[in-house]
Structure 1
Amino acid sequence: MTVLTAPANRPRTEPGLEALFAPNAVAIIGASDDTRKYGNWIAVQALKGNRPVHLVNRSRATVLGRPTVPSVTAIGNQVDLAVIAVPAAAFEEAVDDALAAGARAIVGISAGLGEAGEDGLRVQARITAKVRAAGARLLGPNCLGVLDHTSGLTLTSNEFPVGNIGVISQSGNLALELATLLVDHGLGVSRFASLGNQADLEAADLIDAYIDHEGTAAIAVYCEDFRDGRRFARAAQRATEAGKPIVLLTVGATDASVRNAKSHTGAMVSSGIVVDAACRAAGIEQVSSPAQMAHLLQALVRSRVPRGSRTAVFADGGGQASVASDSAAAQGLDVIEFPPALQTAVAAELPSTAAVSNPVDVAGGGEQDIMCFPRVLDHLTSSPAVDATLMSGYFGGYGAYGQELAEREVDAARTMAALTAAHDGTVIVQTMNWTSAAANCLREGGVPVYRGIDEAAWVLGRLARRGSAPATGVPDQPVAAKAVSDTGYYASRRLLMAAGISFVAAHEVTDREELLARAAAMAFPLVLKALGDEHKSDRGGVILGIPDIPALLVAWDDVQHRLAPPSCSIEEMADLTQSVELLVGVRRDPRFGPIVLVGLGGVFAEVIRDVRCALAPVSTGQAKELLLSLRGSALLTGARGRIPVNLDAAADVVAGLSQLASAHPEIVEIECNPVAVAPGWAVALDARIVLG
């Protein structure tokens, strides 16, 4: 890896975090000669820079051949940043010393605090309060350090390659792995901050600090605990709007990953479906591995988001052309047949044996004239029929046949990159010669190059989806309404009806006389529900299609004998012959706040598990898009000759429920299951509210 030496003139950094990323001087508390300790590793890296570094050690006069001081206060000069690498028992005293000396930022390497249990969490909270009271900031504790290549700051245990990717990570090893993968793509790191326990500085703070950082083009985040998830999402949205895309790797897909996160950082991990919703709202690109993160980052900093999914496949081998076409189609890209004029233009540049309808196979044209590659690419990137080009094959290897061809191939690569930029095109290249001079020339010119066709096609698919599904925005929360306390079935119905959600006519009854009196004014068939049981349908507490009074009395006696409910609800039965049953609900995530969920509903909702979610509240238009994104959305729009249901009415229910739940922070769960949606109406058939 390449290491950057600090420039003589350091750029200013963001207000509030100058002391963290561009301090005037650094004190390392716990500096050590012991090569097994962080105090040694970080001191070694720090001394490579050109700013003053003070080594603090109470028991040794020298460390690494340099004189030490017993405390930060003994230095006698202002020191902006203190790095603390001492045992947990000595951490608070070290913080007190640094604050007394006027430190404005502290990096806590020490472990064994908030992640170690309740006692450690109390100590960590007390220390954090001291830091904030002093107007300082704390990174960590239990972190790997901080680095800023643009200011020449290296306070990490390991070196990082120089580049334009800002890295924020709750795992030191994952950050190091990502760094090695970035090198494979000719990329590196501009800034790195290790989150640790996020006692003070959170991921959102660091994203904000990276947005205006000139040296950062994109931001990679590995996070296990988002703390204030809405704040994180809003910071990510600001980064996206500033042209600095966020690529996120997180955990929570399995119970094992959640257990591990809790054990090593004490993290509270949000469910995957909630994080997905936050990513869609903020424009975050979520990945599942460091390798995917590196692949996508290369495309985001070098390429452009295509106008659409119409893709030209351009190869110098028939087999690779076919495989690339299948890979592109598997990613949802449309490998269109070229219009005749484009086929004619491409054919004029290639041998008569070339395939030109899409995919394009140069059929040996590269050996005859290497400049056929830029000429063909010129036609593809300038054509209004093509949104993106996926190039695959041998390019970059022709130079092995002779020096003259090697030079020509580099010229071809340089011309291809220039044409791509001139046409504002999207070109992704895969070549078996991905480390060649020509491949590096493409990268330097802004064209991403990959080793495998699967990763190249995957990246292009992600870019296309990014263009077709822009961020929906992180919604603001409404002013809190008067808290509700009664969450009984009928209290819930009244609250929901006040929010504009329709229900069938119904009455609560507690005895036979009241049952008969209410039923006399209702239209049969009726439904009888035993109240007081969230899963009443599973226990036979919901009896449908009651045709008349005698049958109603039989149903009443049966329910009373089996379940003895405190009360029952009798309801007119909606005509469901042309309806679809939906599940509509809102859950309040501890980190991200209210999350609205929609899905195919009824008694099999938990079996079908066709659910989509979004940060609440949502508008009617956003609710409609959620409904249309369901796998079973064809049931709503008229599959197999069915009459389409009233999507607007269904979307009004979703939006109304999301607004209601967002205005009531005391509600942790609210659900209407099912909501029957027919061609003319949408009616909630059940309701449940849980307070927290």
Structure 2
Amino acid sequence: MSRGLAPLSRELVPLSRDLAPLFDPVSVAVVGASDDPAKYGHAIAAQALRAPHRRPIHLVNRRAGTVLGQSAAPSLSALGEPVGLVVVSVPAPVYEQTVDEALACGAKAIVAVTAGFAETGAEGLARQRAVAEKVRAAGAVLVGPNCLGIADNTTELYLASDAFDLGGVALLSQSGNLALELQLAFAPHGLGFSRFVSLGNQSDVTLVDLVRDCARHDATKAIAVYAEDFGDGRAFAQAAATAGKPVVLLSAGRGAAAARSAASHTGALTTSSDIVAAACRDAGVELVRTPREMTAVLAALAGGRRAHGRRVAVFTDGGGHGVIAADAAEAAGFAVPELGPGVQEKLAGQLWGPSALGNPVDLAGMGEQDPMSYAAVVRTLLDSDEVDAVLMTGYFGGYSADSGGLGGAAGTLGATELEAADSIARAVRASAKPVVAQSMYPDAPSCQNLQAAGIPVFAAIEDAARALAAVVVPENSQDSSRGGGAAAMEPLPDAAPPMTDTGYYATRVLLAEAGVRFPASAEISSEAEVREFARGASGPFVLKALHLLHKSDAGGVVLNLADEEALVAAHREMHARLSAPSYSVEQMADLAAGVELIVGVNRDPRFGPIAMVGLGGVFTEVLGDVAFALAPVSAARAEAMLRGLRCAALLNGVRGRPAVDVAAAAKAIEQITRVAAAQHDLAECEVNPLLALPSGALALDARAVPLVPPSHSDY
């Protein structure tokens, strides 16, 4: 079942909330319980009655009588006793009345299935907010409205339309159908659910509240999230980063951002997809695109083993499978290095002449001679200090498959393959390194033995490679127990005083006070002032008009003016053409001696300030070589972003050009992003270009865009 999703309410809620009344209530009442299978109150009531031994279950139907063979009360007040949690599945016109009655009966938790609020417009949003405020004032919590229920297998709380297999995954979702699809996908991997929560409109209990609570829930080993909106995205990232357990996000609607005013390169280049990806990377969240990918990642994380490097040994029993697996591994960011002589020599003693030993390691038919050779190779690869993880691919499983293969489960080969699976499982249990498998027969008994030992098995090699990528511990990880692991997120700085002037020189002063270096310059409005500056400085010079957003595009920038007369002539021509109220004259930096970078910060309404770093200059948008992170960005993180650019080789010097001072550029990025993150009144702040030089870094242009643009720009 699914419903249209409403825009999220963004009211402020407490930083940490007690959700025990929601997940382990003393009693439950289902208002709107029904014998009619077409009504949602029927499905939830039927599920709730699965565990009447755990807590009292009350059914409420305005007609009273019996529902599902149990006596139903005509109202909550008719129960004559307090109730802990109330499920509200009634028509929208009586929603407020039902919530009021629930609170009067002492309810500390409400699950609101009823729809027709924020998703319908302003009037519905106002009703939704009023109810949420009333619930909070009563010290209660509310999930929804417009949700599809909740379940907690660990407390036998069944308040959703379907039953979910018990396991270690908490699913927080804006889609009910997705939960059903994941249930089917999880089953072959032995995965199940600790909790399920349909988020609904999040008028009170939010995604952030639920992530924090699931992080404290011992039975939850991983948190899976499907979200189309995050409300407070920064708080979500922080909650995920500090969860202490894997968080996997399936995020929809990550395509091109809605139309925005491209007041800077930063605004033009930043999309919602970039922002979500940056937040996930910085928070250590595994970002996935499909339910299938989410399943692969969770299956790998459930094994508990982590790879502390990206050197993978590909092991196969067929050349084609090996080549395809090696390509998939490299596409997932792994190296498939040739194994050294010592490892190859040991493998040669275990295999026969036709086997390939370099990497991929190919049995080349040896498996049919002795299925135990699979186990011998896996053990050797895990023992090698040249390997961080093993990716096994091909026919393994075929010998024990019910379909027959070469011997079938009753044959000698099938029985020996089962022994090999047990031997592989023992080898993996004795090692800290992960093994992931792809098999033509993933449901075969031998593959199921691998699954039971925490070795995920997939039918598709791309799933196996993605699963392996999920268990690599990043170099900057501070928590190796987590799948992605997160570096420490930089805290948001305290809000700085608002900028009363967002013009070019005011922006330069703001950044310069933070330590960012600029060339010598002056703001001028007359030819006499032009000459005065030129006589006190050495050329060449730059002249800029100060009223344009994109000065270069409009002919508002002239470079390489050799001397005073050239500068004066350029000023006369530009003023005649543009009539700017003022201009900037600056000493010209030697662009040929450095690399032009761009540093921008865009304030996203969900995730706050987002930093963009990349190749800069006039071709920034053409090159599109940029990286994103939550701002502010530390110098260490900034350097990693620079090193990760496609054109990062330019920083090291090419074709006789010297290497640039990357550390100085990274420090400048830290200063710029910290200032911009503190200016809550700015929509964007940008330095383009930031010239990285062999010694130091120099900001050559700066721009600030207020959240509410002034009526007259002074750029």
Q: What TM-score do you get using the length of structure 2 for normalisation?
A: 0.90
Aligned pairs for 1:230-629 (under 5 A) are: 230-239=234-243, 242=244, 244-255=245-256, 271-399=272-400, 400=404, 401-402=407-408, 403=410, 405=412, 406-464=414-472, 466=474, 470-629=485-644
Structure 1 vs Structure 2 CA RMSD: 2.1
Residue 7 of structure 1 corresponds to none
The one-letter code of the counterpart of 1:550 is E
Residue 214 of structure 2 corresponds to 210
Q: 3-state SS of the aligned residue for 1:574?
A: coil
Deviation at 1:257, TM superposition (A): 10
Deviations 1:498-522 (A, max 9, x none): 0111111111111222222333222
Q: What is the distance in 1 between the residues matched to 2:330 and 2:687?
A: 39
Q: What is the distance in 2 between the residues matched to 1:298 and 1:483?
A: 48
CA contact (8 A) 2:17 2:209 kept: no
Residue 189 of structure 2 corresponds to 185
Q: 3-state SS of the aligned residue for 1:120?
A: helix
Question: Structure 1's 338 and 550: CA in aligned 2 closer, same or farther, altered over 3 A?
Answer: closer
Q: 3-state SS of the aligned residue for 1:83?
A: strand
Q: 3-state SS of the aligned residue for 1:398?
A: coil
Q: What is the distance in 2 between the residues matched to 1:551 and 1:640?
A: 32
Deviations 1:21-53 (A, max 9, x none): 111211111112222221112112111222322
Deviation at 1:161, TM superposition (A): 2.5
Residue 226 of structure 1 corresponds to 230
The one-letter code of the counterpart of 2:209 is D
Question: Structure 1's 292 and 372: CA in aligned 2 closer, same or farther, altered over 3 A?
Answer: same
Q: 3-state SS of the aligned residue for 1:24?
A: coil
The one-letter code of the counterpart of 1:562 is R
The one-letter code of the counterpart of 1:116 is T
Gapped regions of structure 1 (runs ≥ 5): 1-13, 259-268
Q: 3-state SS of the aligned residue for 2:593?
A: coil
Residue 3 of structure 2 corresponds to none
Q: 3-state SS of the aligned residue for 2:422?
A: helix
Deviation at 1:631, TM superposition (A): 1.3
CA contact (8 A) 2:299 2:467 kept: no
CA contact (8 A) 1:306 1:467 kept: no
Residue 667 of structure 1 corresponds to 682
Deviations 1:291-348 (A, max 9, x none): 1000111001115221212222211223222322232233232222222222222222
The one-letter code of the counterpart of 2:389 is A
The one-letter code of the counterpart of 1:464 is V
Residue 20 of structure 1 corresponds to 22
Residue 75 of structure 1 corresponds to 79
Q: What is the distance in 2 between the residues matched to 1:667 and 1:463?
A: 38
Deviations 1:189-229 (A, max 9, x none): 11111111111111121112212323222111111221122
Q: What is the distance in 2 between the residues matched to 1:633 and 1:129?
A: 52
Residue 11 of structure 1 corresponds to none
Deviation at 1:618, TM superposition (A): 2.0
The one-letter code of the counterpart of 1:684 is A
Q: Say yes or no: does 1:646 pair with 2:646.
A: no
The one-letter code of the counterpart of 2:706 is L
Q: What is the distance in 2 between the residues matched to 1:257 and 1:295?
A: 31
Q: 3-state SS of the aligned residue for 1:102?
A: coil
Q: What is the distance in 2 between the residues matched to 1:466 and 1:92?
A: 49
Residue 3 of structure 1 corresponds to none
CA contact (8 A) 1:526 1:573 kept: yes
Residue 134 of structure 1 corresponds to 138
Q: What is the distance in 2 between the residues matched to 1:485 and 1:95?
A: 47
Find the partner of 2:70 among 63, 66, 70: 66
CA contact (8 A) 1:584 1:596 kept: yes
Deviation at 1:439, TM superposition (A): 0.9
Question: Structure 1's 129 and 425: CA in aligned 2 closer, same or farther, altered over 3 A?
Answer: same
Question: Structure 1's 481 and 293: CA in aligned 2 closer, same or farther, altered over 3 A?
Answer: same
The one-letter code of the counterpart of 2:464 is A
Deviations 1:504-551 (A, max 9, x none): 111111122222233322222221111111112111111112223333
Question: Structure 1's 524 and 642: CA in aligned 2 closer, same or farther, altered over 3 A?
Answer: closer
The one-letter code of the counterpart of 2:293 is Q
Q: What is the distance in 2 between the residues matched to 1:165 and 1:299?
A: 13
Q: 3-state SS of the aligned residue for 1:639?
A: coil
The one-letter code of the counterpart of 1:349 is Q
Aligned pairs for 1:30-49 (under 5 A) are: 30-49=32-51
Task: Provide the identity percentage.
Answer: 47
Q: 3-state SS of the aligned residue for 2:78?
A: coil
Q: What is the distance in 2 between the residues matched to 1:490 and 1:351?
A: 75
Q: What is the distance in 2 between the residues matched to 1:287 and 1:590?
A: 22
The more displaced of 472-481 and 223-232 is 472-481
The one-letter code of the counterpart of 1:21 is F
Q: Say yes or no: does 1:199 pair with 2:203.
A: yes
Q: What is the distance in 2 between the residues matched to 1:116 and 1:682?
A: 52
Deviation at 1:270, TM superposition (A): 8.1
Question: Structure 1's 169 and 257: CA in aligned 2 closer, same or farther, altered over 3 A?
Answer: farther
CA contact (8 A) 1:141 1:197 kept: yes
Deviation at 1:187, TM superposition (A): 1.4
Aligned pairs for 1:36-115 (under 5 A) are: 36-50=38-52, 51-115=55-119
Deviation at 1:467, TM superposition (A): 6.1
Residue 116 of structure 1 corresponds to 120
The one-letter code of the counterpart of 1:431 is S
The one-letter code of the counterpart of 1:384 is D
Q: What is the distance in 1 between the residues matched to 2:325 and 2:689?
A: 45
Deviation at 1:585, TM superposition (A): 1.4
Deviation at 1:256, TM superposition (A): 9.3
Q: 3-state SS of the aligned residue for 1:577?
A: helix
CA contact (8 A) 1:305 1:467 kept: no
